[in-house]
């Protein structure tokens, strides 16, 4: 393949020895470009992949002078192998682990009782959140916010109970042979990062840099003195902030370049993508490939339906199964199964262990919270779905899911669809905006729509760029009526600038 001008510019900057941040829009051939850089030098490199599957695919595409690994694989080779015995230990319930750490009774925070099980679960989640950061010690800001305890003062009270146990859990994890806390892969990655490791390579290539955990960022940037750093990603696809990921591209001290020619779709789809890139204030705009005539319009038989939430995915699964279709769910049905079981527990008067719902003593309490507390509005679709169909019907539907290879249609959340593509895509209706004009009905005036925030625009951008052949905007069609939704004029891609 003849490189584009943008790919050639990236190669020139790389061979000049510059540290480089490469903004690569959807379908612009970022891995192909990185392989082009690596093949043009005799130096030894490391490619840090987002997951194992990407690392394996890259190994076949990069020259032998470049080792393709995940950060976890590097950490395992350095320190993780010492913990093999603990990694293979049997699973145990969080409450048993909490009991071993000394969590033996419930506490009251505000008007809610936090059970021993909920405290144990929150303690282990605190350690997990700490492991994703560049911090050296567990502190109160690692403690997760729990449903019903979102107030800052209430969270501070909860953290005062949790932090001592979380620190005890982290100390337990330092022992290679045995301990109370189940050891997992993020634990040895964090342990390795605290040793301030030096990666032996002449250059490092970091993929998916827009969704980098701070712990990986710290390891990567610490190699700057002895290795050339190249990061590639798409800031507009930074959709994992909610779990601690960070876009480290825009503030990177190095040459900023872009790949804006998409080989996945045509000009019409590129224009739709640019609408959302404009709304997200992204640093690039895309150009489609005329030989790929992607269309926008009604899709009656989609290959994939993309949803905003797990609950939206659950609703799509049930609707399509009721229509007699064979349905697959990207990533499997475990998360939906867990939500349905949690709902069943609450409806039957039992507390649930589900981390999102564990503070609610019964279903009625959750219904009230979802309907009346602003912090619980995102749970209203779950309540509506369970009240309409019942938990048994949901569990039955999840059990009838088939592998993607056997499915007529695949359902996916947008988060799980990132990096994927299909021929015909429909955007699900859980992206639709609810209209609430009740406050102004008596005055006879319309409520102006809420502004589109960056996170909403980035998620929509990822959703609309998963297709090759035809896209049905479906639940995102409201953008045509939004005052900020006017299609922007084509803009010049990110200018090359030397830091």
| Residue 489's pLDDT band (cuts 50, 70, 90) | low
| Residue 437's pLDDT band (cuts 50, 70, 90) | very low
What would the mean pLDDT of 211-231 be, rounded to a whole number? Answer: 94
Residue 494: pLDDT above 70?
no
Residue 227: pLDDT above 60?
yes
| Residue 435's pLDDT band (cuts 50, 70, 90) | low
Residue 228: pLDDT above 90?
yes
| Residue 51's pLDDT band (cuts 50, 70, 90) | confident
Task: Please give the C-alpha separations between residue 13 and each of 17, 18, 77, 105, 134, in angstroms, as whole numbers.
Answer: 7, 6, 32, 60, 30
Q: What is the per-residue pLDDT across 273-282, written as a single tens digit (0 to 9) for each?
A: 999 999 999 9
Query: In this predicted structure, what is the pLDDT of residue 444?
Result: 57
90 against 100, higher pLDDT: 100
| Residue 1's pLDDT band (cuts 50, 70, 90) | low
| Residue 443's pLDDT band (cuts 50, 70, 90) | low
CB 358 within 8 A of CB 117: yes
278 against 450, higher pLDDT: 278
Q: Which of 50-54, 174-178, 256-260, 314-318 has the lowest mean pLDDT?
A: 50-54
Task: Spell out the SS3 assignment of the chain.
Answer: CCCCHHHHHHHHHHHCCCCEEEEECCCCCHHHHHHHHHHCCCCCEEEEECCHHHHHHHHHHCCCCEEEEEHHHHHHHHCHHHHHHHHCCCCCCHHHHHHHHCCCCCEEECCEEECHHHHHHHHHHHHHHHHCCCCCCCCHHHCCCCCCCCCHHHHHHHHHHHHHHHHHHHHHCCCCCCCCCCCCHHHHHHHHHCCCCCCCCCEEEECCHHHECHHHHHHHHCCCCCCEEEEEECHHHCCCHHHCCECCCCCCCCEEEEECECCCCCHHHHHHHHHHHHHCCCCCCCECCCCCCCEECCCCCCCEEEECCHHHHHHHHHHHHHCCCCEEECCCCHHHHHHHHHHHHHHCCCCCCCCCCCCCCCHHHHHHHHHHCHHHHHHHHHHHHHHHHCHHHHHHHHHCCCCHHHCCEEEEEHHHHCCCCEEEEEECHHHCCCCCCHHHCCCCCCCCCCCCCHHHHHHHHHHHCCEEEEEECHHHHHHHHCCCCCCCCCCCCCCCECC
> How far is the C-alpha of 287 from the C-alpha of 261, rounded, in Å?
5
Residue 498: pLDDT above 50?
no
Query: In this predicted structure, what is the pLDDT of residue 374?
Result: 79
Residue 496: pLDDT above 60?
no
Max mean pLDDT among 121-130, 327-336, 358-367 falls in: 121-130
Residue 147: pLDDT above 90?
no
What would the mean pLDDT of 116-139 be, rounded to a whole number? Answer: 95
241 against 394, higher pLDDT: 394
Query: In this predicted structure, what is the pLDDT of residue 491?
Result: 47
What would the mean pLDDT of 262-273 be, rounded to a whole number? Answer: 94
Query: In this predicted structure, what is the pLDDT of residue 95?
Result: 84
Max mean pLDDT among 51-65, 69-83, 428-442 falls in: 69-83
Residue 118: pLDDT above 80?
yes
Query: In this predicted structure, what is the pLDDT of residue 499?
Result: 35
Q: What is the per-residue pLDDT across 180-201, written as a single tens digit (0 to 9) for each?
A: 999 999 999 999 999 999 999 9
Residue 490: pLDDT above 60?
no
Residue 208: pLDDT above 50?
yes
436 against 197, higher pLDDT: 197
| Residue 463's pLDDT band (cuts 50, 70, 90) | very high
pTM of the complete model = 0.84
Query: In this predicted structure, what is the pLDDT of residue 64?
Result: 93
Residue 216: pLDDT above 50?
yes
| Residue 445's pLDDT band (cuts 50, 70, 90) | low
Query: In this predicted structure, what is the pLDDT of residue 359?
Result: 83
What would the mean pLDDT of 466-484 be, rounded to a whole number? Answer: 93
Residue 224: pLDDT above 90?
yes
């Amino acid at each position: 393949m003849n490189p584009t001008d943008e790919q050639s510019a990236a190669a020139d900057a790389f061979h000049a020895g510059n540290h480089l941040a490469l903004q690569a829009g959807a379908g612009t051939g970022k891995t192909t470009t990185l392989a082009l850089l690596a093949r043009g030098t005799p130096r030894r490199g490391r490619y840090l992949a987002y997951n194992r599957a990407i690392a394996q695919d890259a190994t076949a595409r990069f020259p032998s002078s470049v080792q393709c690994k995940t950060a976890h694989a590097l950490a395992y080779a350095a320190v993780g192998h010492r913990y093999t015995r603990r990694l293979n230990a049997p699973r145990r319930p969080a409450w048993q682990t909490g009991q071993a750490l000394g969590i033996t009774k419930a506490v009251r925070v505000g008007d809610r009782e936090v059970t021993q099980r909920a405290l144990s679960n929150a303690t282990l989640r605190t350690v997990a959140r700490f492991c994703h950061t560049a911090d050296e010690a567990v502190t109160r800001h690692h403690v997760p916010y729990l449903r019903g305890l979102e107030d800052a003062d209430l969270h501070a009270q909860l953290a005062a109970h949790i932090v001592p146990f979380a620190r005890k859990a982290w100390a337990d994890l330092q022992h290679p042979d045995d301990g109370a806390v189940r050891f997992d892969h993020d634990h040895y990655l964090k342990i390795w990062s605290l040793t301030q490791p030096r990666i032996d390579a002449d250059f490092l290539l970091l993929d998916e840099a827009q969704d980098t955990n701070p712990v990986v960022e710290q390891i990567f940037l610490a190699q700057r003195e002895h290795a050339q750093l190249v990061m590639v990603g798409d800031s507009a696809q930074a959709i994992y902030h909610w779990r601690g990921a960070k876009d480290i591209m825009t503030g990177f001290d190095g040459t900023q370049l872009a790949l804006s020619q998409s080989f996945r779709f045509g000009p019409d789809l590129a224009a739709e993508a640019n609408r959302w890139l404009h709304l997200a204030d992204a640093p690039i705009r895309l150009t489609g490939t005329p030989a790929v005539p992607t269309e926008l319009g009604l899709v009656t038989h989609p290959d994939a339906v993309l949803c905003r939430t797990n609950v939206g995915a659950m609703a799509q699964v049930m609707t399509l199964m009721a229509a007699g279709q064979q349905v697959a769910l990207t990533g499997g049905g475990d998360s939906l199964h867990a939500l349905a079981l949690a709902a069943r527990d609450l409806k039957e008067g039992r507390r649930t262990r589900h981390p999102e719902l564990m503070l609610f003593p019964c279903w009625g309490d959750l219904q009230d919270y979802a309907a009346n507390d602003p912090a619980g509005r995102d749970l209203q679709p779950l309540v509506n779905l369970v009240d309409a169909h019942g938990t048994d019907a949901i569990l039955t539907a999840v059990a009838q899911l088939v592998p993607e290879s056997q499915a007529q249609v695949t359902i996916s959340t947008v988060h799980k669809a990132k990096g994927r593509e299909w021929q015909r895509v429909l955007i699900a209706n859980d992206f639709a905006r609810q209209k609430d004009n009740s406050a102004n009905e008596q005055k006879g005036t319309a409520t102006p729509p809420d502004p589109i925030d960056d996170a909403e625009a980035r998620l929509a951008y990822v959703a609309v760029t998963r297709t090759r052949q035809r896209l049905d905007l479906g639940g995102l069609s409201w953008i045509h009526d939004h005052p900020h939704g006017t299609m922007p004029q084509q803009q010049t891609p990110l200018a090359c600038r030397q830091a």
